[in-house]
Structure 1
Amino acid sequence: MYRRRTVGVVVPAYDEAGFVGGVLEAVPDYVDRVYAVDDRSRDRTWAEIAERASRLNRAAATDRGRETVAAGAGFDRRIVPIRHDRNRGVGAAIATGYRRALADGIDVTAVMAGDGQMDPARLPALLDPIVEGDADYAKGNRLADGARDEMPRFRLVGNAALTVLTRIASGYWRTGDPQNGYTAISRRALERLDLEAVYDRYGYPNDLLVRCNAAGLRVADVPMPARYGDEESSIAYATYVPTVSALLLGAFVRRLARRYPLRELHPVPLGYAAGALALAGSALEGARALFGRRPSDGATIGIGRAALLAVAGAASAGAAARLERRLHAPLEVRRDG
């Protein structure tokens, strides 16, 4: 237990042989249960999980004065090996662990990737905001001041861009580094989220943030230095960024529909909608002016209209964003890490 709360850790793994065993061994002793979820790896990941789980569970039983661990005997098994029947994605692996933690009544559940990039010594910084009642969900932020030095530049630029998009989509305007998977979440939050609907691939942390806001959950942003070793990322950024951008657009619309029912005529969705329509009109008017068959004076007028619509659209969307930032400020918690 950690500060009188039961703690679980989900370790999602896909082709992490040579890394995942070390992650399981490094999980702090105060963690009550570790859910090691193999997402149908092609290498020896599952064999490594099974071997380490058997050995570490026997050691835990010996420490408690027992010689054997009965399979399925609740908390008698500290490490719970789980294997998907097919490859479903990292988001699905984490959701599997979350559901098991809920079934076990775990108070706080963290996520530590199977590649060893997440420093176990930093786990208390994520648990504390939840244990102290300040937040429902805590996440690391490698983009915070003093915490970004180790991140490769190409990741830094891409992450900064996705931070802006995710802030718009989620409504958490002061929260950064949405790609950071080092997180902790309360049982209350898991009970309020639809885990079956969370995106099952690498965009899951972005999608989860949007769903947290829709559910009115408080999020803590914790500075978390980047940590890289010999592991290789399986993310294909050429397809990843467009995919997540499309995901965020859909999630943004769903969040607005849930937070601001149409019958209320709230100024936030109205402002965003007016801004989107004006910007679309600007693009259309500009295309007509540049490529349509018009006299030169008509083209000039068309370009002027496009510019006015663009200014009006940006102003409307910006006003909605500023209002949301004020409304959602109580849902954002800043920590020193």
Structure 2
Amino acid sequence: MYGDERVGVVVPAYNEEQFIGDVLREIPEYVDRIYVVDDDSTDDTWTEILAASRDGSADRRYGQTDREPASDGGTDREPASDGPDPTEIPHRSRSDERPTSQRAWSVESMAQNGDSVRAALAERASEIRLRGRVVSIQHRSNQGAGGAIKTGYLAALVDGVDAVATIDGDGQMDPEVLSDLIDPIAEDDIGYTKGNRLLRREYRSEMPTLRLVGNFILTFLTKIASGYWRVMDPQNGYTVISREALESVGVTNLYEDYGYCNELLIRLNVADTRIADVPTDVEYADEESHIRYSSYVPRVSTLLLRGFLWRLKTKYLILDFHPLVFFYLFGAGAVGLGALGGVYTLWRGLAAGSGVGFGGVLSPLLVVAGVAFLLFAMVLDRAENESLVRPQQLGANSARME
């Protein structure tokens, strides 16, 4: 427990046999559940996960509640009766805020359950094991970085924890600063916190130059797409989300590859979720990036454009009305027409050997007017969402732990 908050941590892992064990062992004691997701790794990541999760608790699958096989391969034996049953999951009921308890589920029983969250989790997992506070989940097939986070989120929704963090399995993130990300959720009406490696110069200096430039570009594009204009470092995977915010974004439909964190910000904005940036450091060691930039850049750019249009339609036309959506449309249309007109006029002028006519003057005017419309729309958009972002400057380890 962290104060009155039950905390879960999602740890995605793909070919992280060198780092995953240390990551799991270093997660703070106040964390109630650790959902570590092996994304169909081709190395010994799963073996390392199971080894690191041993804490004296019985090794059993979700749902194996009554009997367990004898270690010598003989007949079944009754599990030890001393201490709490490790297959029971503490659960906070939605209808009654008092903590309750419910049995764990096997993959098979979850698949037969009518609940869409449990069914989605069963569809993705080939095996789920519970050892103490560690829920080890192995994917049926590789789902991507966002897919592993999504699986962990589904398991956290099943458990009903109050705040769910994400910590990568490559050892780059310092678990000791997790409390700094939990504090705004535990103490304020913040629904989502994320690390920010760009707020402080000493943190930026540790980031490779190419990654830093790419991060600044994605920061700018994500500001426009998400409506969170004061957010930086959107690619940071060190996050905490409240249960209410997680329930509002539609976890089963989340994007499942790199770029998931950008889309999540868009969905949170439509749900009017307040978020906070928290300065965090990162350690770059021998880990290997799994991102292929030749496909990543166009895919995430398309994702952001699609998410931007969805946000405008949903937030400013369907759920409410705001004229800024028309300024965006008029601005984009004027810039597009002006650019096409300029190209056409230039081509006609070169073909005919004549000078620039009226069309050559009108096209730049359209572009200027379009840019003015777009800038005005951005100003309105920023003002509309200003109250949804609270940058945080928190001291390290302001613990309220139990």
User: Do they superpose with TM above 0.5?
Assistant: yes
Q: Cα distance, 1:220 vs. partner?
A: 0.4
Q: 2:221 aligns with which of 158, 165, 174?
A: 165
**Per-residue displacement from partner, 1:39-79 (whole Å, max 9, x unpaired)?**
111111111111212347569xxxxxx97885633257300
Tell me the TM-score normalized by structure 1: 0.93
CA–CA distance in 1 between the matches of 2:341 and 2:290?
42
Aligned residues: 332
CA–CA distance in 2 between the matches of 1:132 and 1:263?
29
CA–CA distance in 2 between the matches of 1:79 and 1:49?
9
Counting helix residues as a fraction of each chain, which structure ranks higher? 1
CA–CA distance in 2 between the matches of 1:68 and 1:304?
82
The amino acid that maps onto 1:182 is Y
The amino acid that maps onto 1:248 is L
| Structure 1 residues 125 and 296, CA gap change in structure 2 (3 angstroms) | farther
User: Following superposition of structure 1 onto structure 2, how do residues 11-90 of structure 1 map, counting pairs within 5 Å?
Assistant: 11-55=11-55, 57=57, 72-74=87-89, 77-90=132-145
| Structure 1 residues 30 and 71, CA gap change in structure 2 (3 angstroms) | closer
Q: 1:211 aligns with which of 267, 275, 278?
A: 267
Q: 1:248 aligns with which of 285, 304, 309?
A: 304
Kept after mapping to 2: 8 A contact 1:122/1:224? yes
Partner of 2:399: none
- State percent identity of aligned pairs: 47
Kept after mapping to 2: 8 A contact 1:91/1:199? yes
Tell me the TM-score normalized by structure 2: 0.78
**Per-residue displacement from partner, 1:232-290 (whole Å, max 9, x unpaired)?**
11111222122111100000000111101169652211011011101110221122022
Partner of 1:271: 327
Partner of 1:125: 180
**Per-residue displacement from partner, 1:149-199 (whole Å, max 9, x unpaired)?**
211110000000000000000000000000001000000101111112211
**Per-residue displacement from partner, 1:179-223 (whole Å, max 9, x unpaired)?**
001000000101111112211001000000011001110110111
SS at match of 2:195: strand
CA–CA distance in 2 between the matches of 1:9 and 1:187?
12
Kept after mapping to 2: 8 A contact 1:172/1:213? yes
| Structure 1 residues 305 and 192, CA gap change in structure 2 (3 angstroms) | same
Kept after mapping to 2: 8 A contact 1:274/1:313? yes
Partner of 1:151: 207
Please identify runs of 4+ aligned residues in structure 1 that moved more than 6 A.
Answer: 66-69
Q: Cα distance, 1:302 vs. partner?
A: 3.2
The amino acid that maps onto 1:139 is K
Partner of 2:386: 329
CA–CA distance in 1 between the matches of 2:152 and 2:247?
14
Kept after mapping to 2: 8 A contact 1:134/1:333? no
5+ residue gaps, structure 2, are 60-80, 91-130, 395-402
Partner of 2:75: none
Q: Cα distance, 1:330 vs. partner?
A: 0.7
SS at match of 1:196: helix
SS at match of 1:285: helix
Please provide the CA RMSD for this pair: 2.2
SS at match of 2:200: coil
Kept after mapping to 2: 8 A contact 1:21/1:48? yes
CA–CA distance in 1 between the matches of 2:84 and 2:362?
74
The amino acid that maps onto 2:24 is L
| Structure 1 residues 129 and 69, CA gap change in structure 2 (3 angstroms) | same
The amino acid that maps onto 1:328 is N
CA–CA distance in 2 between the matches of 1:197 and 1:313?
34
The answer to whether 1:201 aligns with 2:257 is: yes
